[in-house]
Structures are given as C-alpha cells and as structure tokens.
Amino acid sequence: MLYDAHNHLQDDRLDPWREQIMPMLPQTGLAEMIVNGSSEEDWPAVADLARAHSWIRPAFGLHPWYVKERTKDWATTLKQLLVEHPHAVVGEIGLDRWIENPDIDAQLECLRTQLALAVELDRPATIHCLRAFGLLEETLRNTPLPRRGFLLHSYGGPAEMIPTFAKIGAYFSLSPYFGHPRKAAQLAVFKAVPLDRLLAETDAPDMWPPDELNPHPLQSADGKALNHPANLRVSYELLAQVRGMGVEELEKVIADNYRALFG
C-alpha cells in the first residue's frame, strides 16, 4: 500500500488526462494521497476531489508564490474549509526566496497565520521551502507548531539541518525528480533522515522523474514534461535504493510514518 504525501492532483495541466488518471490510481497500490491547494483559486477544486474520492485527503493552504494575490478574507475562508473537512491538512504553506521579487515579510505573516490555524485545529502542516532554510528554521523555532508535526516536502535543505528540524516535529518527503543525476547529492541527503520521519511523494504534475525511470511519461500541450501522479513507486524505489532497503520493507515504514503524521 503506497502513500503519496504531497501532490497537486487538482492542477489544470492534468485536465486532458484526468478521466483516465482517476480510475487507475487505486490500481497502482495507492492507499491515500494528500492533494494540496495552493491558493484561494484552487481550494474549491481540491475540496471537490476529496468529496468524490475516499482515497484523497485534502490540504488547504496559501503557497508563498501566491501571497501577493491573497484577498482580505483569505484566512477566514481557509479556516472555514479546514473546519468543513476535519481530516484536512494545512498546506501547502512556506517560504520561497527563489521566485522573482519575493515579499518575505508577507510570506512570514502568512506562514505564521497558517501555523496558528494548524495548532488551533490540531492539524499537521505541509511546508514548502526554497532558498530559505535558515529563515524557516529560525521561524519554526520561535513559533507554536502543530502537535502532530509537519512535512518538509521535497526536502532540499542540507543534511546538517535534518536533526534540528526533526527535533521540532519535521518529516521529510522525496519526489521522483531526485532520480535525475544532477540531484544525486540531494538524494544522498535522505540517508540522514531518521527512518521514522521518512515519506514519499510525487508533487505531480511537477517533479517528474528522468526518462529512464519514468513509467508514465506525460507532456503538456506546449511540450513541457509533466509528472504523472502514478509515478509514486519511483519515489519508493529511490528511497529504498538510498537507504539500502527492500521496497516492501520501506512500504511498511512509510505507511507507519504517514499515519503518525496525517492520521
């Protein structure tokens, strides 16, 4: 039984294949997936998917890429959705200095607001971070955090920071993109993740695997590569390889970790 800790199944780039994707996913061994909203605009689509499919657990959050577009009522709307969906996760939230002209102050304000909601409603959170791991670590150390913990999805930080993050409740997930040769050093970082904090994800339709590891190739209309949400097993195989484990043994570990964080 496979668990996808993070994807964006609602993304409209998957629309041309959605009718064939949805029935095939449970046939791949998938037990459950977390489908993450990123903005007020896509939260309703995430909610619709969760209502239609029992194997989808929704997540609602304001991604740092979209903080500049938030309405004045965004936090109220977010809380209403989380209350309406008692098993929902707070995510995707976080910090990002990689984007052009990031408003870090706004990102920090939104991150703290959403972490407070996770604490109030006793929900885990899913955190995105690019080029801001020092600031994220400082922020998390000085902010109340959800009792259940939080996921650092597609963890791209250094191995040296893993113990600090783990101590304050972090789990760490790997996506198929880490199979690209240029990501070999980051894949190796997952050797340092405590076994009881290890998770797998697709981040579909982004973070696609290299061609030689890709059983479900997809391309958008303009020819750009997309990650098929059925590529979850690629992440398991990469993790098994880097940890020196069998895939079946790893499946049990990840199932236990997924339930510990998400319930």
pLDDT for position 112: 98
Q: CA-CA distance, 147 to 135, in Å (whole number)? A: 21
Q: Enter the CATH code of domain 2-262.
A: 3.20.20.140
Place of tokens 């459950």: 32
pLDDT for position 221: 86
One-letter identity of residue 90? V
pLDDT for position 82: 98
pLDDT in tens, 10-24: 999 999 999 999 999
Read off the tokens for 207.
């973070």
pLDDT for position 21: 97
Ordered by start, the domain boundaries in the chain are: 2-262
pLDDT along the chain (263 residues), means of 10: 98 96 97 98 98 98 98 98 98 97 98 98 98 98 97 98 98 98 97 98 98 96 95 98 98 98 96
> For residue 206, what are the CA distances in angstroms to 21, 92, 105?
15, 14, 27
**DSSP conformation class of 209:** P
